[in-house]
Amino acid sequence: MAQDVYYRYFAHPSEIAQLRRERMVLTSNPNRGFKTWYTTTRFDDPALAQQLLTLSYVPEYRVGPIRADEMPDFDVHGQRIVQPLGNMPGGAIEVCTTQPAYLFGCYNFPNNDWEPL
Amino acid sequence: MIDLSATARDLVQTEEHFETIDPILDLSERSMLAIGAEHHLRDINIERWRWDQPEILMSWLPFRRETHIGKNIRVLVKVEQANAFRVYFESNAWYDERRGPGMLIRYWAHFPAGDIPVDGAQEAAQDEQRWINKYIQDAYGHVADAKEVTLDQSIIIWSDGSTESIGAVMSIPPVDPEQ
């Protein structure tokens, strides 16, 4: 049986900087233990992602797919359906974790930087 | 309709105020918990900063164990300028109908309940608490369990994220407090 994959959508400038620097997916918001949300849906239209995830911002970035077995434990909540908010319907699946997910990469220790692949 | 969408500038300002917004959410949570206790709301869940949004959300199930029917109140904070914020209040109700695997029909209603300015989140206290109480009370009034709520919007959502609007309307009946 195929396993789930997860995507994260975001727009905060510090989060994309962190992702490029560390190949690590984690919110840049320190409040409430770095809770980081993901969804199972791949949206190609950011406006649709905004509607079904009920975001007050249009996401600028999508990271994923990350296979379920490469995701951290969902220690805040597992899969649930997004509630309607802000006159948007919600309806996508979301999960939440406080742990980072690490993306594949090749780090060059002498150069102290990631190798382009 | 109030436009609550955030611009790139809003996002940068929100990042700069990640920690200073939290006291406003503290005041809101206090008020939400009071509403929950006053009205004996069931299965209350409160969470903040969903998807990094400067918000606090309280949801509950008006009918015990019936997770396809829900109601919520949200408080969303926008940074207007350094140490000056605007706080928006709203409530929502919904009913989910599953039609086979991968198809969800969602009926919902959205009720804006107003907004207030708050200067200096760290100092937000007594005066703001009074206003926040009032607006959260108003937000609850739109979706109160004791009244019938008409869900005037509806949409089909497929598991691949595609959607289709439908013009269906339905109602959530009032809750019998003895139920």
| Number of compact structural domains in chain A | 1
The residues of chain A scoring below 70 in pLDDT are 1
| CA nearest to B47 within chain A | A32
Q: What is the nearest CA distance from B128 to chain A, expressed in angstroms?
A: 22
Structure token pair of residue B55: 């918000």
Say yes or no: B101 contacts chain A, CB-CB below 8 A.
Answer: no
Structural domain boundaries enclosing A101: 5-110
Nearest beta carbon to residue A56 from set B6, B48, B153: B6
What pLDDT, on the 0 to 100 scale, is given for residue B123? 58
Do residues A47 and B5 lie in contact, with contact meaning Cβ atoms separated by under 8 Å? no
In a domain, A29, yes or no: yes
3-state SS assignment for residue B13: helix
In a domain, A102, yes or no: yes
Q: Using one digit for the tens of pLDDT, what is the confidence trace for B63-91?
A: 877 778 999 999 999 988 877 889 999 99
| CA nearest to B1 within chain A | A87
In a domain, A116, yes or no: no
In a domain, A117, yes or no: no
Residue of A12, A29, A35 to mutate when probing chain B, most B C-beta within 10 A? A29
What pLDDT, on the 0 to 100 scale, is given for residue A51? 96
| Percent above pLDDT 90 for chain A | 88
In a domain, A54, yes or no: yes
| Percent above pLDDT 70 for chain B | 89
Do residues B121 and B111 lie in contact, with contact meaning Cβ atoms separated by under 8 Å? no
In a domain, A115, yes or no: no
- The pLDDT of B103-123, averaged and rounded, is 87
Q: Using one digit for the tens of pLDDT, what is the confidence trace for B116-163?
A: 998 865 555 667 888 899 999 999 999 998 899 999 999 999 988 899
Nearest beta carbon to residue A12 from set B15, B72, B161: B15
In a domain, A90, yes or no: yes
**H or E stretch at A96:** strand A93-97
Strand partners, A96: A37, A77
Nearest beta carbon to residue A57 from set B11, B19, B160: B11
Residue of B5, B25, B45, B51 to mutate when probing chain A, most A C-beta within 10 A? B51
What pLDDT, on the 0 to 100 scale, is given for residue B124? 56
Q: Is the pLDDT of residue B19 over 60?
A: yes
In a domain, A37, yes or no: yes
What is the DSSP track for B99-164? -STTEEEEEEEEEEEEEEEEE-GGG--HHHHHHHHHHHHHHHHHH-TTS-EEE-EEEEEETTS-EE
Say yes or no: A6 contacts chain B, CB-CB below 8 A.
Answer: no
Please report, for residues B76, B87, B116, the alpha-carbon distance to residue B119 in angstroms, rounded to integers and kept in the order given: 15, 10, 10
CA distance B104 to B67: 14
Which residue in B26, B161, B153 sits closest to A86, CA to CA? B153
Which class for B75: exposed (0-12), middle (13-18), buried (19 or more C-beta within 10 A)? buried
Q: Using DSSP bridges, classify how beta strands A93-97 and A77-81 pair: parallel, antiparallel or unpaired.
A: antiparallel
What is the DSSP track for B33-91? HHHHHHTT-SS-EEEE-GGG-SEEEEEE-SSTT-TTEEEEEEEEEEEEETTEEEEEEEE
Q: Using one digit for the tens of pLDDT, what is the confidence trace for B43-64?
A: 999 999 999 999 999 999 988 7
Q: What is the ipTM of this complex?
A: 0.92
**H or E stretch at B23:** helix B22-38
- B1 against B114, higher pLDDT: B114
What pLDDT, on the 0 to 100 scale, is given for residue B4? 63
What pLDDT, on the 0 to 100 scale, is given for residue B3? 59
Q: Which residues of B touch A53 (CB under 8 A)?
A: 51
Say yes or no: B4 contacts chain A, CB-CB below 8 A.
Answer: yes
